[in-house]
Amino acid sequence: MKTVDVDCSLGYLVNQKSEFIIQIQAANHPWQRVISESLDLAGITPESFVDITGQNRMFRFSGHPGPIEMRYRATVEVNMPPRNYRAEEMDVADLPTDVLHYLLPSRYCESDLISAMAQRTFGNLPRGFSRVEAICNWIKNNVVYEIGSSYASTTAREVLVNRAGVCRDFAHLGIAFCRALNIPARFVFGHTEFPDPPPDFHAVFEAFLGGEWILFDATKMAPLDKIVRIGTGTDAKDVAFSTMYGDVQMTYLKPLVRDHIVGQSAEFEQVDDFIGAESNTSIKAGH
pLDDT digits (tens, 9 = 90+) for 31-83: 999 999 999 998 899 999 999 889 999 999 999 999 999 999 999 999 999 99
Residue 277 pLDDT more than 70?
Answer: no
Residue 171 has pLDDT above 70, yes or no: yes
Largest CA distance in the chain: 58
pLDDT averaged over every residue in the chain: 92
Is residue 11 within 8 Å of residue 20, measured between CB atoms?
Answer: no
Tell me the pTM. Answer: 0.91
**pLDDT mean over 226-250:** 97
Q: Please state the rounded mean pLDDT for residues 139-155.
A: 95
Q: Where are the domains of the chain?
A: 2-79+239-284, 92-183+203-222
Structure confidence at residue 285 as a pLDDT band (50, 70, 90): very low
261 confidence band (pLDDT: 50, 70, 90): confident
Is the predicted pLDDT of residue 240 greater than 70, yes or no? yes
pLDDT of residue 194: 77
Class of domain 92-183+203-222: alpha beta
2-11, 167-176, 221-230, 264-273: range with lowest mean pLDDT: 264-273
Which three-class secondary structure string do you get for the chain? CEEEEEEEEEEEEECCCEEEEECCCCCCCCCEEEEEEEEECCCCCCEEEECCCCCCEEEEEEECCEEEEEEEEEEEEECCCCCCCCCCCCCHHHCCHHHHHHHCCCCCCCCCCCHHHHHHHHCCCCCCHHHHHHHHHHHHHHCEECCCCCCCCCCHHHHHHHCEECHHHHHHHHHHHHHHCCCCEEEEEEECCCCCCCCCCEEEEEEEECCEEEEECCCCCCCHHHCEEEEEECCHHHCCCEEEECCEEEEEEEEEEEECCCCCCCCCCCCCCECCCHHHEEEECCC
Give percent above pLDDT 70 in the chain.
90
Q: 167 with 203: CB under 8 angstroms?
A: yes
Domains 2-79+239-284 and 92-183+203-222 share a fold: no
Q: How many Å apart are CA 185 and CA 89, to the nearest integer?
A: 12
Q: Which one has a higher pLDDT value, 1 or 22?
A: 22
Q: Is 15's pLDDT higher than 80?
A: yes
pLDDT at 25: 98
60-92 burial: b if 16+ Cβ within 10 Å, else e: ebebeeeebebbbbbbbbbebeebeeebebbee
Tens digit of each residue's pLDDT (9 = 90 or more) over 173-196:
999 999 999 999 999 999 998 776
- In this structure, what are the phi and psi dihedrals at residue 242, rounded to the nearest 5 degrees? -150, 125
Phi, psi of 135, rounded to the nearest 5 degrees: -60, -45
Better-scored residue on pLDDT, 259 or 280: 259
Of 157, 154, 212, 158, the residue nearest 184 (C-alpha):
212
Q: CB-based contacts of 285: which residues, under 8 Å, 6+ apart?
A: 245, 246, 247
Question: What is the structure's pLDDT at 284?
Answer: 43
> How sure is the predictor about 265, in pLDDT bands with cuts at 50, 70 and 90?
low
Which residues are within 8 A (CB) of 79 and not within 5 positions of it... i.e. 6 or more apart?
A: 1, 2, 31, 32, 33
What's the mean pLDDT in 220-225? 92
- Per-residue pLDDT at 76: 98
CATH class belonging to 2-79+239-284: mainly beta
Q: For residues 107 and 278, which has the higher predicted lDDT (pLDDT)?
A: 107
- Identify the pLDDT of residue 287: 27
- Residue 197, pLDDT score: 61
Smallest CA-to-CA distance from 156 within 104, 111, 221, 101 is with 111
- 95's CB contacts (< 8 A; 6+ apart) are 103, 184, 208
Phi, psi of 81 (to 5 degrees): -65, 155
Q: What is the mean pLDDT of residues 128-139?
A: 99
Residues 234-245: what's their mean pLDDT?
96
Residue 286 has pLDDT above 60, yes or no: no
Of residues 143 and 282, more confidently modeled: 143
Pick the closest to residue 41 from 60, 17, 19, 14 (CA basis).
60
